[in-house]
Amino acid sequence: MAKPKRMSEMFAASSATDASTTMAMTTPPYSSEGPTLPIIDALDDARKLSEATKASKKRKAHEGCVDTTAKKPSHTTPPRTIHPSLYEPWTRLPPDLHKLLETKTRLRGAQNVIPVVFSKNQNVKSGITRLKTYLGADRGSASSIEIPDASKHEDLVIAVSAQGEGTAKLVSIVDMVQRLVAPSGKDKDDKTVETWWMYTQLSSVEAKRTVKTGNGHTEGIEERTGPNRGTEEEEAFEPTNLGEQNTQGTVPDKDAVQMRRVPVLTVWMTRKKIPEFRKAFGEQTFPVQKIPQEHD
């Protein structure tokens, strides 16, 4: 039979149990503020993620630089220009015809000729306004467009020229101008209606270009001007003269010269009839409804 416990032992055992319970209840709960193992692992993961992000950014930046370099063109195409002879259209006439008209004083250079040159990028509205102003059918734009002294002559000649791809733009502008300056039905017999003559001349300029043909690739184009040469490259015309080639049919590693014929279209609008132009280029007429000046 078990020996009965004394009261003092029972109290001592009860005190020990209470102390154990008190310690268990007063032990602070787990806190993430201490240097525990889970926190150390989280810092390592964050550090690895940061390093991976930086490496990815560096790689993307390097790839971006490579792409930018690859997109740069291998060469720059020189700007195309208009042959200077278009600004002196009387020099483009056949020599005999030019001499004859000068002798008869029908053409006196800049004294009675207004040259107008259109390019393939010509603004259509601007071109129409300019021609209407020179024809006397648009007085409102006279303040913004310089009127040459040649417009005061009774034998005024307006020479509208274009080369290459600009010829299509010229034809469109001239056609629209003829329709816009034409008088309406009630004004056909008015004294302000003036008849103009039109002659169309087709010629060409010879464009000389130098092509660098190292390793069979075109590196650049250089246009050179001359008395009968233009400066605009036209894809629609075949070369008439090629640079030297070796016996195997390949282009040597040096500059090659190519010659191209570039078309030039000149529309002569004259206030008075020119029979010599009619024989050379044919003849058309069109009416112009003139707008009287304010002081008239």
In a domain, 240, yes or no: no
Instruction: Out of 40-54, 95-109, 189-203, pick the least confident.
Output: 40-54
In a domain, 24, yes or no: no
- Using the predicted structure, report yes or no on whether residue 295 has a pLDDT greater than 60: no
- Give the pLDDT of residue 184: 81
> pLDDT-based confidence at 60, cuts 50/70/90?
low
- Give the pLDDT of residue 192: 84
**Rounded Cα gap, residues 255 and 269, in angstroms:** 43
In a domain, 127, yes or no: yes
| CB within 8 Å of 182: residues ≥ 6 apart | 286, 287, 288, 289
**Rounded Cα gap, residues 81 and 262, in angstroms:** 12
Q: Cβ atoms within 10 A of the Cβ of 190, count?
A: 11
- Using the predicted structure, report yes or no on whether residue 163 has a pLDDT greater than 60: yes
In a domain, 69, yes or no: no
In a domain, 225, yes or no: no
In a domain, 141, yes or no: yes
Number of separate domains in the chain: 1
Q: Stretch 163-188: mean pLDDT, rounded? A: 90
- Using the predicted structure, report yes or no on whether residue 235 has a pLDDT greater than 50: no
Would you state the structure tokens that stand for residue 168, as one six-digit string? 């299509």
Q: Stretch 158-179: mean pLDDT, rounded? A: 96
- Give the pLDDT of residue 85: 92
Would you state the structure tokens that stand for residue 191, as one six-digit string? 């004294």
Look up residue 128 and give its amino acid: I
Q: Stretch 84-97: mean pLDDT, rounded? A: 94
Domain that holds residue 121: 84-203+264-289
Q: Stretch 82-92: mean pLDDT, rounded? A: 93
Helix-helix angle 124-134:166-181, to 10 degrees: 50
- Give the pLDDT of residue 94: 95
131 contacts 229 by C-beta, under 8 angstroms: no
- Give the pLDDT of residue 24: 46
- Using the predicted structure, report yes or no on whether residue 196 has a pLDDT greater than 90: yes
Letter string b/e over residues 195-214, b meaning 16 or more CB atoms within 10 A of that residue's CB: ebbbbbbebbbbbbbebebe
In a domain, 75, yes or no: no
In a domain, 169, yes or no: yes
> pLDDT-based confidence at 74, cuts 50/70/90?
very low
Q: What count of Cα atoms within 13 Å lies in the side-chain half-sphere of residue 91?
A: 11
Reduced to 3 states (helix: H, G, I; strand: E, B; else coil), residue 229 is strand
| CB within 8 Å of 37: residues ≥ 6 apart | none
pTM score over 0.75? no
- Give the pLDDT of residue 11: 54
